[in-house]
Structure 1
């Protein structure tokens, strides 16, 4: 992510995070609820950006900001050019909107990159420790997860791997047995996690739609960006199947075309059969 300092004071690119951004397919959407959860690990979307050319320019701005280690000020300059070029009338104030696009894409890409690194060294560092930013801005429920220590294989990380919401600053670090002993930590019991993993339903005040959430996690953030990006193809098929049919009809061919055109990162990460199943087409083979 171009933000890791080296011992010589220079910045080292976070290659895994940049790879995550580069692997994304652009999907135009009306609102952030059109695409939720796992599919965000494979798709780049900006709510309200329905023009392909506009979305492409916003994607290039996000990618350049991350590849070059640019600040949000630099990103805002690129954002302004894209908005002026396409005459986009977006919702919300400029400062808030650019912060959401810049920070959330950066955070999820970094999370996906960290997961890839942690998977790579899990034979030596098989435990993950949840850490908050440690200040007064931390959400109470996220603060309750501070210092949760579990095996990397535990299913808690399938839903609670940060970011766990808009502008969430929590992070995960991997530890070895020696680290745990030195820090005086103990593995968290499953009984201590029960209250955190019970979903509840809330009603969207605008549409009346019933939406399922987990306590402390914003709608659509109950997934592990790295696991969804690198994990089983089944997740993508499931997410495609849950989309509104109009969005699904747009999204599925784009994902399939990415595979058929020989993009290696989608050959291994997206299941053509799962995508066909989500459209009700028969499975072959």
Structure 2
């Protein structure tokens, strides 16, 4: 780290990634799936010790203020000693019920926690900037590690050139192992061609996988050669995907009365704002709950409507003449829960809902997918009263109005 950087704070896209993590105790690092590390902050052997919030606060401060490891360790070590999380101790493995002699806190473990979390936070921040700039710098090139001792298996990755959206970056985006200091550089199409990229459908690099057995869970997973188990992920991309799955799964499991409250909370939360600002590409959020009679009429199995980051961008930004803001969206999206009228499409797989908020008519179009197991918001915009009533009257005559 450049000594001058110690007097600066980290970019907001770096700190935002770490701040959004929930704390999750674990007994072993293999207890938490690699993808979940993009959503949860965990420390192995933390189960049963009241240290996670303290540790997360210390790591967060280190990330925000770019503290060197020695300063991070100094700030947290006394607390860990006070709470008994230091040295070796006998502890019960919750998976097997066995009593084991385990390593709790140590300088080596703190260094690992510090490195893993600061490095992945910066990687997530870099990915956010990459997504923001890909319109004019649409490629990435894998760059050599800055470590004094370089891993031969990572050196063979140096020079890989692929588009930002290429799935190869889901598996090989650095860091690719404990202590990995490899990186990527965002480049133009012209430079990508100069470095050997060819638009002929040929993959930029063929990933060779090897099986890895997680002895804790008994599960065998495939890991790219040269990549440490648990590091074949892209933390920035996974963050948005994991938030999406987590929120959707939680809400689907709620009773209908709780669903509506939870969806309203999400719509008003900073998460939707982050998605609107482009900080959660390829993500989705639950944004509405359809009325029960419409769900039954359409033969669907869910009432929750999802909104993708792409569709939100389309709704807010692709129609400048409509001047639709996020606040407009938040105040009016409730018309989908209590619409004034619902018009079914000819295919029976989509519906347009009309409603009034503060004297303004709105139209929302949702589409059913996944055999009725999913609803997606396709469009959302203002309508004049005359336009709305004309569509509703026409639907009534053609039998497409949902009663």
The answer to whether TM tops 0.5 is yes
* Stretch of structure 1 that moved more, 204-213 or 129-138: 204-213
**RMSD between aligned alpha carbons?**
3.5
State the match for 1:249 in structure 2: none
Q: Residue in 2 aligned with 1:279?
A: none
Superposed counterparts of 1:106-185, under 5 Å: 106-133=118-145, 137-180=149-192, 184-185=194-195
Task: Output the CA distance in 2 between the equivalents of 1:114 and 1:239.
Answer: 28
Q: Structure 1, unaligned stretches of length 5 or more?
A: 241-256, 274-281
Cα distance 1:219–1:137, how it changes in 2: closer, same or farther (>3 A)?
Answer: same
Give the paired residue count: 255
Q: Is the 8 A contact 1:166 1:218 kept in 2?
A: yes
Does 1:23 pair with 2:20?
yes
> What is the alpha-carbon distance in structure 2 between the residues aligned to residue 169 and residue 139 of structure 1?
10
Q: Structure 1 stretch 108-117 or stretch 163-172: which is displaced more?
A: 163-172
Secondary structure at 2:178 match in 1: coil
Match of 2:77 in 1: 80
In the alignment, the residues of structure 1 paired with residue 29 and residue 125 of structure 2 have an alpha-carbon distance, to the nearest angstrom, of 23
SS across alignment from 1:65: helix
2:44 is aligned with 1:47: yes
* The structure with more radius of gyration: 2
The 8 Å contact of residues 25 and 43 in structure 2, kept in 1 or not, is answered as yes
Unaligned ranges ≥5, structure 2:
88-102, 251-261, 287-300, 305-403
Preserved contact between residue 3 and residue 69 of structure 1 (Cα < 8 Å): no
Q: 1:18 to 1:192 in 2, by over 3 A?
A: closer
Higher relative contact order (CA 8 A, sep 6+): 1
Structure 1 residues 206 and 20, CA gap change in structure 2 (3 angstroms): closer
Question: Paired residue for 2:111?
Answer: 99
Preserved CA contact (<8 Å) 1:37 1:223: yes
After superposition, the Cα gap between the structure-2 partners of 1:263 and 1:78, relative to the gap in structure 1 and judged at 3 Å, is farther
TM-score (normalizing by structure 1): 0.75
Matches within 5 A, 1:245-256: none
- Residue 66 of structure 1: aligned partner: 63
Deviation string 1:136-178 (CA, Å, 9 cap, x unpaired) is 6222221111010111011100111111111111111101134
**Greater per-residue strand proportion:** 2
CA distances 1:167-201 after superposition (whole Å, capped 9, x unpaired): 111111101134446xx41217745622x2x4332
SS for the counterpart of 2:211 is strand
